[in-house]
Chains A and B, each alone.
Chain A
């Protein structure tokens, strides 16, 4: 090994090469099942990169969400839409041009970024010093990430939790199987209207069980 190349740099290069290779393989594959598996590997390699950059909490989340849950969710989607990607009908010239230009601009943008891990970076001069100096004294929690997320930045985390919940609501609105039974107020009492029930069926049911709309069983999974 040459003088001047540290072990950390070797690890960086290996991980980035793996990342690039996985990305190119995902683009070239027409089998979506294999592409999803490679996307999981991509997340795992990213988690490795985050670990190298000392962002263990982010790496942990990336490994659990990116490589774990989202792979399973995408596989669930594939079970619905099929495993083969159709051959593209257009020439790849224009998309390639757009991607190259965008990528070029992004790479040009990184040249203006502050150097990685430099203590003079603007990010380390706003509130970060206050957190680092006071977190242990004010909360007695050794891992500074936890008090920053849950206490100093409590509003942000509350918003994130709400966003996660909103994601569930959105997906259920789109994907849940049919509407739930509805409770409707009708002539002085609440009645249950099941999905797909016609008006005639409902009127017949009301007529025969005049006393008992409330007695109707309510548990329909």
Chain B
């Protein structure tokens, strides 16, 4: 384990950039390819890489499974919650026009919020799925 210096140091250097790239993909999705789904997968890939190199035990300390599960549900809540906020403000469900003083800004806020929900759900689900597979012991005959 401790011999693989290049792998460990290389991974440590790369993970902040992977997370930064995930945020870039998230918030640059308005201008180029990308969005919540891709950003969530990339952020989860950072956690998976960490787990692969440093072991599952360390990864679980960074992102506990419970956090991953809660993220999975929280994102859906944010998404649906955006819809309900629009409903309470007098619009239709998921009608972002009423979220701000003018429809264009409302659309921007709505899309931002909804994409954030997608990011959180996808991140939580991907990390949770990885934990579910990786934490299984091999059934030896």
Q: How far is the CA of A141 from the CA of B108 in the complex (A)?
A: 8
> Which listed residue (A57, A155, A160, A165) contacts B72, Cβ 8 A?
A165
| Distance to closest chain A CB from B41 (angstroms) | 4
**Residue contact B48 to A80, C-beta cutoff 8 Å:** no
Q: How far is the CA of A150 from the CA of B99 in the complex (A)?
A: 15
Tally A-B pairs: CB < 8 A.
Answer: 145
Interface size on A, residues (CB 8 A): 44
**Residue contact A155 to B37, C-beta cutoff 8 Å:** no
> What A residues does B83 contact at CB under 8 A?
154, 158
**Residue contact B110 to A151, C-beta cutoff 8 Å:** yes
**Residue contact B107 to A154, C-beta cutoff 8 Å:** no
Assess whether A31 is interfacial by the CB under 8 Å rule: no
**Residue contact B33 to A167, C-beta cutoff 8 Å:** no
Chain B 39-68: CB-based contact to A (< 8 A → 1; otherwise 0): 001101100100010000000000011100
**Residue contact A161 to B128, C-beta cutoff 8 Å:** no
Within 8 A of B (CB), among A169-189: 171-172, 175-177
**Residue contact A161 to B79, C-beta cutoff 8 Å:** yes
A158-B79 CB under 8 A given contacts A57-B33, A64-B41: yes
For residue B75, which residue of chain A has the nearest CB? A161
Assess whether A145 is interfacial by the CB under 8 Å rule: yes
**Residue contact B108 to A69, C-beta cutoff 8 Å:** no
| Distance to closest chain A CB from B93 (angstroms) | 8
Chain A 48-71: CB-based contact to B (< 8 A → 1; otherwise 0): 000000001101110011001100
> What B residues does A143 contact at CB under 8 A?
29-33
Q: Please list the residues of chain B having a beta carbon within 8 angstroms of any beta carbon in chain A.
A: 25, 29-38, 41-42, 44-45, 48, 52, 64-66, 69, 72-73, 75-76, 79-80, 83, 94, 96, 103-104, 107-108, 110-111, 114-115, 117-118, 121-122, 124-126, 128-130, 132-136, 138-139
Q: Please list the residues of chain A having a beta carbon within 8 angstroms of any beta carbon in chain B.
A: 56-57, 59-61, 64-65, 68-69, 72-73, 76-77, 79-80, 138-143, 145-147, 149-151, 154-155, 157-158, 160-162, 164-165, 167-168, 171-172, 175-177, 221
9 contacts between A and B (CB under 8 A): A59-B33, A69-B41, A72-B130, A139-B107, A145-B33, A147-B111, A154-B94, A168-B72, A168-B128
